[in-house]
Structure 1
Amino acid sequence: MAANQEDVKLLGVAESPFVCRVQIALKLKGVQYKFLEQNLRNKSELLLKSNPVHKKVPVFIHNEKPIAESLVIVEYIDETWKNNPILPSDPYQRALARFWSKFIDDKVVGAAWKYIYTVDEKEREKNVEESYEALQFLENELKDKKFFGGEEIGLVDIAAVFIAFWIPIIQEVLGLKLFTSEKFPKLYKWSQEFINHPVVKQVLPPRDQLFAFYKACHESLSASK
């Protein structure tokens, strides 16, 4: 069945890097979809019914069948729409792409969330250090490639949208110097290439809106110390 706007829906919020991953995959494939903005403080019946386990976004609904978890959704999109492949065809390369995508979620995104939402300075320093080590691994993995998978955007790049776009905003809010062109020249060059890619540019949320969102989060946390 050809997918059209009626049977492809994405439940999400504009400031989520996980939702952004799915939007990049859909744009790369040229899939038309309906974006249903969610209020996470007052979750819709559709969200609760579609993702009863985690009750989180993104949720992708294709022909009334819901799928949760951003990396799972990206793989589903890649298998459903065959043009512009996101995962490599070689099984070993595909396994590596999955490994590094999971590494980004476990080691970079996990630590970064903690240093946004922690008020304890020592705890924050520990999380920043963890992120630094993880970014060093990615710097070495990137080598001299344009994107992690070579010349075209792939799964690892999509997973790393958080590093390219969200981390620079978060570090600016917190006054950190974690991800810079001096410390990570290859990764920084990759990030500029990636966020300026015409497909990626179309779906990134407005930077000033995101900055205001994290600044407000940080200020309310600091006030509650």
Structure 2
Amino acid sequence: MFILVILLSLAWTMQVIKNTLQVTISHVKYMHFSCGADLDTSMALHDTFKHSIGSICIGSVLVPVLGVIHGSAQATSLISGDADEFMFSCTNCYSGVASRLITYGNRWGFVHLGVYKKGFVQASIDTWETFKRAGLEPLIDSDLTSSFCFLCGVAGGAICTLVGGSWALVVYKGYATEVSIYAFLIGYFMCRVAMAWPQACVSAYYVAYAENPQSVQFDQTIPARIQVLLRSQA
């Protein structure tokens, strides 16, 4: 139990670090995409620590939990399809609950959290409502940025496991399993922190576009992609 508590503390701490970077970078990029202004990164980081660190700590707990629920609901819906079997009878209900919950805690809300200094839940709700008004829900549901960052984290963790486990087998063979597990977790979280930068840029781009689709800062990439998604679903 003590080891489990330590690992949970590590996971939460690394999530807070990652989300702090995400709020800071998304603030800088949002200002660039929305009005072409270049905000100093150190100033954005200072504002993040001053106004948003409490909300970031809350969001670091809510986002992984609600993300897992939403992802499992989407996977269940894809598996069930149009089947009428009893085991899939609650799929629509579960999907509806997951879709409702994701509005109260999603990673896109970190953009509004940094820019407008809102609470995390309110920022998530406002961001999702903005996506709905702009018709970006199909695009958001098919976004692979989070999956790409997750796979990068797994790859980084696997490399650390190979290195740490190989070293432990040579020096401390009796601890090879424990060292391999801890090396994977450390490598995974370090890669996720490093990937916070591109993830924040993508989030800021989507949110800035949703708030002002007619801005000259944007091209036709997003509308063209939405049209492709709508045709594929027809």
TM-score range, shorter chain: under 0.3
Q: Which has the higher strand share?
A: 1
Structure of greater relative contact order (alpha carbons < 8 Å, 6+ residues apart):
2
Q: Given the two structures, how large is their TM-score scaled by the length of structure 2? A: 0.26
